Structure 1
Amino acid sequence: MNENSTAPDILTRLFGLTDRVAVVTGASSGLGLGFAEVLAEAGATVYAAARRLDRLTALAERHPRIVPVRCDVTDDADRKALVDRCYGQSGRLDVLVNNAGRPGPPHAEEETADGFADLLAVNLTAGFHLAVRAAERLPEGRHASIINISSVIGLVSTAPIGGASYAASKAGVLGLTRELAGQWGRRGIRVNAVVPGWFDTEMTDGLFSNDKSAAWVRRNTMLARGGEPGEIDGAVLFLASDASSFMTGHTMVVDGGWTAR
């Protein structure tokens, strides 16, 4: 390392996203909102996509590099319009964060055939088709990073919290990540996954406000707590940036030690 280099220079070289374009789905709240913010703060133009345009607009008012886009990720026309807008306005798409998702019922007996299929459509299938659209538009010689957001529920059973359809969708995300990494690696498209542990978001509504379930999280997490706001953002920034340029097909677990116990 050059002794005249400064920490900001090194951080910019490794983690800077200036002139890059990113898409974050499910960006209107929770972890997705944080992902959009951190990528924008690192210099990227971020197309923040979700169904709740009012929330995205408020987010964009706080961050001038965030572009709000109403998008239902289960609608192929919306997915196409999202990718087309990136290329039409910015001429490129360098980072895709497939974050959109929702929970399902906790008990298998409560699952219906349509409900199971609908949840997979949001949590798994939509991200696959969006990744394919992004890969199809990538010019030859250009590199890109696709980051799929899974869950500890995709790695281990978390009964009585979790759910069969949700577990199946998040485990599927991990298998899909490995397969797409293998298929697209020689094209310069890296595909990795992030596995969040327990964070206090809309997806886990009531988990931390209930004394019994909050104690369950603390008891079964090596760090004896849930994740704090922002504690997973660094993993997404790392995978989006040149700091992870030799990583693909990888699952990065950010769970306070939940799955290592």
Structure 2
Amino acid sequence: MTWDPRGKVAVVTGASSGIGEATTRRLAAAGMTVYAVARRTDRLEELAGAHPTVVPHTADVTDQDAVDALAARVREEHGACHALINNAGVGGGAFGGRDDLDDALRTLDINVGGVVRCTAAFADLLEAGAPSRVVNMASVAGKLGIGPAAYAASKFAVVGFSEALSLSWASRGITVCQLNPGFIETEGFPQTQVKRTPMARLVGRPEAVADAVVDVLANGRTERTVPTFYRAFVALRHLAPPLYFAAAKRLDRAGGTRD
């Protein structure tokens, strides 16, 4: 049976722009009450002003007390959560040595620690709302190690965390999905480097990912790549590694940047 979003409660982190904002709008339009979570209060209030079922909530996913307070609010107001979209994330910069350590650790803390904190805080609420969904925003960079090293590492971790939970949490009625976008142009990820190359045509929009989130929620998928043609690159990585690495080394991002 298809999962019906109407009347259900969702939490979306990183909701103030890009994929998170597009997803919040899409879920609200589908009939869900959506807790839009981010650090920028003004952006969240603007979003809520345009969508009456969007609830703005300012929080930083690196702050465990703030995450716990968010979960407590959802528990008090609804008693359950039906969908958790762990989307908050940052890109990070190139890793060249000791000078880049703080940036790398911050990237890992937000992209991995934020996912783990939120998933832990909402575990009981998701079980109470079962059948429920967790969608962890990973990346094709979580399958292919190209670009900033800490960013790639963080997304590899999100892929592994999601895959393990998809198996261990199935018995609780919670479906956990790794959603892997390719190059998506957003405020935080302008894709400037890619748009200077013939691969510019591969750059997508946040709305395509938001549509994929809705599909994942409806069908209970545990893995989704968007756009789907990026799966060919992942297949090449595993089926023909020499050919993949020969091609990858020619990309600008092989230098560890996303400039």
TM-score for both structures, normalised by structure 2: 0.83
Identify which of 184, 189, 194 aligns with 1:213: 194
- In the alignment, is residue 178 of structure 1 matched against residue 159 of structure 2? no
For 1:168, which of 111, 133, 153 is the aligned residue? 153
Deviations 1:92-147 (A, max 9, x none): 20000000000111344476333322211100111112111111334558321000
Distance across 2 between alignment mates of 1:14 and 1:173: 26
Matches within 5 A, 1:1-261: 14=2, 16-109=4-97, 112-139=100-127, 142-158=130-146, 162-205=147-190, 207-208=191-192, 213-216=194-197, 219-220=198-199, 224-241=201-218, 244-245=219-220, 247=221, 250-255=222-227, 257-261=229-233
Structure 1 residue aligned with 2:249 = none
Change (3 A) 1:111 1:260: farther
> Match of 1:112, as an amino acid?
D
Taking the aligned partners of 2:21 and 2:162, their CA distance within structure 1 comes to 22
1:9 equivalent in structure 2: none
**Stretch of structure 1 that moved more, 34-43 or 104-113:** 104-113
In structure 2, how many angstroms separate the alpha carbons of the residues matched to 1:63 and 1:95? 18
Letter matched to residue 54 of structure 1: D
SS at match of 1:147: strand
Change over 3 Å in CA distance of 1:259–1:181 after alignment to 2? closer
Corresponding residue SS for 1:227 = coil
Q: Report sequence identity in percent.
A: 34
List alignment gaps of at least 5 residues for structure 2.
Answer: 234-259
Name the SS for the 1:148 alignment partner: strand
Aligned-pair CA distance for 1:251? 2.3
Q: Give the TM-score normalised by structure 1.
A: 0.82
Give the Cα–Cα distance (whole angstroms) in 2 for the partners of residues 191 and 108 of structure 1: 34
Q: Deviation at 1:153?
A: 1.4
Q: How large is the Cα RMSD of the aligned pairs?
A: 2.1
| Residues 174 and 251, structure 1, Cα contact 8 Å, conserved in 2 | no
Moved more, 95-104 or 80-89: 80-89
Mapped partners of 1:254, 1:92: distance in 2: 29
Paired AA for residue 113 in structure 2: T
Partner SS, residue 136 of structure 2: strand
Bigger proportion of residues as helix: 2
* Aligned 8 A contact 1:140 1:187 in 2: no
* Matches of 1:239 and 1:95, distance apart in 2: 11
* Structure 1 residues 111 and 124, CA gap change in structure 2 (3 angstroms): farther
- Report if aligned partners of 2:22, 2:207 keep a CA contact under 8 Å in 1: yes
8 A Cα contact 1:20 1:44, kept in partner: yes
